[in-house]
């Protein structure tokens, strides 16, 4: 029973907050309809009066909802111990590495399968561990070349 309540704690918090808001609105702290200042505000500026009334009503619901939500979540996290036991099974044994196919053989089989299906496996099987660079190129030379190309294109555009 408690487990079902805790799994639907949002709905239970909502229901309890609704009941608390109704109780607070009816008995403990209803909207003061006989307050002279509020009556003056209602007569002179009805929008301001409405702007005070509706947030008051909303806060009568949201404050208990937040409190109940925190209480149920705290009880769920800290106080509840699950009653179901998890089956502890032994993991299957790993196959002997000496008998498994090496990755290159597996890749070659997959490539042949893709080629027989009519697609190209280049995009599906790129297993590079780091980005490829042209031989003899470094970050600085690539950047310098890019800057030189930009300067040339700017000069060409300025000459036109």
**Which residue in the block uniquely carries the two structure tokens 């109704």?**
22
Quick check: pTM over 0.75?
no
Query: Residue 100 has what pLDDT?
Result: 67
Q: How does residue 6 score in pLDDT terms, banded at 50, 70 and 90? A: confident
pLDDT in tens, 72-111: 888 888 877 766 777 778 877 877 777 766 655 555 555 5
User: Who contacts 18 (Cβ-Cβ below 8 Å, separation ≥6)?
Assistant: 61
Of 15, 8, 10, the C-alpha closest to 61 is 15
Q: What distances in angstroms separate CA 7 from CA 1, 63, 86, 137, one per listed residue?
A: 10, 22, 18, 60
Give me the residue spans of the domains in the chain. Answer: 2-79
Q: Does 118 score more than 60 pLDDT?
A: no
Cα separation, 58 vs 68, in Å, equals 16
């Amino acid at each position: 029973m408690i487990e079902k309540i805790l799994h639907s704690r949002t709905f239970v918090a909502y229901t309890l907050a609704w009941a608390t808001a109704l109780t607070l609105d009816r008995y403990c702290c209803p909207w003061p309809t006989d307050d002279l200042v509020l009556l003056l505000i209602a007569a002179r500026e009805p929008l301001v009066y409405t702007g005070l009334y509706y947030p008051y009503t909303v806060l009568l619901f949201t404050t208990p909802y937040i409190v109940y939500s925190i209480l149920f979540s705290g009880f769920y996290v800290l106080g509840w111990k699950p009653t179901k036991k998890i089956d502890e099974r032994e993991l299957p044994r790993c196959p002997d590495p000496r008998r498994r196919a090496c990755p290159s053989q597996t890749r070659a089989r997959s490539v042949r399968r893709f080629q027989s299906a009519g697609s190209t496996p280049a995009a599906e099987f790129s297993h590079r561990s780091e980005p490829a660079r042209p031989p003899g190129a470094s970050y600085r030379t690539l950047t310098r070349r890019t800057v030189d190309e930009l300067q040339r294109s700017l000069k060409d555009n300025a000459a036109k």
